[in-house]
Structure formats: C-alpha cells, structure tokens
Amino acid sequence: MQYETIFQEIYRDLQPLEDPGQVADYIPELAHVDPYQFGVHLTTVGGDKFAFGDAEKRFSIQSIAKVFTFVLAYSHVKSNIWERTGLEPAGTPFNSLVQLEYDKGIPRNPFINAGALVVCDILAGELASPKENILSFIRRITGVDSISYNSGVALSEKKTGYRNYALINLMKSFGNIRNDIDSVMDIYFHICSIEMSCKELSKAFLFLANNGIVPHSGEQILSASRTKRTNALMQTCGFYDEAGEFTFKVGLPGKSGVGGGIVAVHPEKYAIAVWSPRLNRKGNSYKGMLFLEEFTSKTRSSIF
C-alpha cells in the first residue's frame, strides 16, 4: 500500500478546512507551540515506514504516556491494578473530579488523569527508580536512547496542576494513594512532559500491534491476552469523553494527548502516529482525528 501518497492526498484535502482548535494553553509551556505543524508516521509490523510532514519533530506526548506507564505496571508489578482502578469508559473530561467522589476514590479507568495517577502510585511503590525505569522502558521499545523528559514542561505543569492535585488528594482521602503525594505527582508531571516524534511513537506502539512482542528486538512486553486487553482499553477509554466518537469515525484502538498527538494501532498490521497541536473542545487533536478518519476510510483499515 502506498501510504505516503494517501497521506499527501488527505493532507491536501484537509488544508482548506479552517481549524477551529486551540493549542493546550492551560499548561503555559505548551502555549508556545507553533500550531501549524503537522506530522504523521506509520510503521508496519514488518518494519516498513511511511512518513509525511513533521514526522521526526518531537512534541510533548502528554497523556499518550499513560499507555506506557499502564503497560509497565500491567507487565511488571505484583499488585492487582484492577483493585485500584476500573476499566470502564469515563464519559467525563480527562481531569474531571465528579465521579471520584461517587466511586469512593477509584478512577473509572487508567487513562483518565485520576487513573494514571494511581498507576504512578503503583509504580512509585514497586519500581526502584520509577522515572529512570519508565524512560528506559520507552527507550528499549523504540530503540532510541535520546528520548527524555522536558523538565520545563514538567515544572510548568506542576505550577498550574491544581486539578491534578485535587484528584490525588481526593483519592488519598479514600486510601487509594499509598505514597507521598509529591513523589507521585513528580512522576506524573514528568511522564506527561516526555517528548517524542510521530516516528518514535509509531515504533513504540508496535508491540501492541504484534501480540505484545517488540518487532525489532523480539522482546515480549505483554502476553497476547494482555495485549488484547490493553488495546481494548485504548479503544474504550483512550480519547477522554470522545472515545465513542473516535471508535465511530476512526475505528482503531488508540490514545491521544493534549500536546496534539494521537497514536492508533491496527492489530497485526501497523501503528500510526499523527500530530497537529490544535485541540478540539474535548482535548483531542482536531486535524489529527479528521486525518485518521480519512485514513482508515481510504485504506479500509479500520478494525470494524
């Protein structure tokens, strides 16, 4: 399949559309990003690569990192994650507090902020050096050693992370946070600040398209069954309160972040990452969603 030609065609078709989205300026460091950048990269399980635009430019992956921390917890730790977080779509914004009170401090799923904070708490309790261990995991699955945190973005988020502090304090009051709040927040703000390109992200997610095995190294990250479950979680919970719409329009499991990135996986075939910084009102990349919708329609490669 000549994916590059298809990328060009879709980009050209989307160009005339006015982009009503806004960059995520609630994290001050992200407000400086040039909103007109656009990149896409697809990597097949067989190792073929297809790129367009700013595919090698790094950006803030934000909530996409929640998949990495979840997988690390799911694959390595002894504690039962499902006693600490649910696995149902939230249907509320990513940083919402309302359900947590009703649900007695148990987040609906690991991909909303509250759930990701619980996962960071689990990693804080079970890994020797969580921040280093998380980075080395991502470096291993991509084969790229220069992937790192952006401490300016982490600090910027720390200074303005009022809702995230509210979430973690509420969960702590219900006994669902075991470690010191500041140490868990430090991990959380850092994972959100990781910078990667579309090329690196599509490579990093390839094990989820390959029954849990990293194609370039042969390392088994998750069993085939846990891989299926992780993809199912991305399908139902990967896009905040727009997971239904993403499933309806794109039809692939995936995860978005407020840096404007989206990664989606076609089991047995490929992982694709797209980046366009302007977000729609739900916090997902406006053009990224449209691009992927056109892509799976033109290539007939939705899983449905």
Which positions touch ligand GLU (CB under 6 A)? 62-63, 94-95, 113, 157, 164, 192, 257-258, 283
CB closer to ligand GLU, 190 vs 269: 190
Instruction: State the pairing for strand pair 261-266/254-256.
Output: antiparallel
Q: Which of 69, 60, 12, 2 is nearest to 32 (CA)?
A: 60
Report which DSSP code applies to 242. Answer: G
CB closer to ligand GLU, 156 vs 231: 156
Q: Which of 93, 109, 54 is nearest to 260 (CA)?
A: 54
CB closer to ligand GLU, 27 vs 272: 27
Q: Work out whether the CA dihedral 232, 236, 242, 244 comes out positive or negative.
A: positive
SS3 59: strand
Q: Which of 195, 233, 211 is nearest to 111 (CA)?
A: 233
CB closer to ligand GLU, 42 vs 112: 112
Report which DSSP code applies to 112. Answer: S
- Rounded least distance, CB 211 to ligand GLU, Å: 27
CB closer to ligand GLU, 189 vs 295: 189
- Rounded least distance, CB 287 to ligand GLU, Å: 17
- Rounded least distance, CB 158 to ligand GLU, Å: 10
CA distance 50 to 252: 18
SS3 44: strand
Residue nearest ligand GLU (C-beta atom): 63
- Rounded least distance, CB 254 to ligand GLU, Å: 13
Provide Rg for the chain, Cα atoms: 18
CB closer to ligand GLU, 113 vs 211: 113
CB closer to ligand GLU, 4 vs 186: 186
- Rounded least distance, CB 114 to ligand GLU, Å: 10
CA distance 222 to 220: 6
SS3 273: strand
- Rounded least distance, CB 297 to ligand GLU, Å: 26
- Rounded least distance, CB 92 to ligand GLU, Å: 13
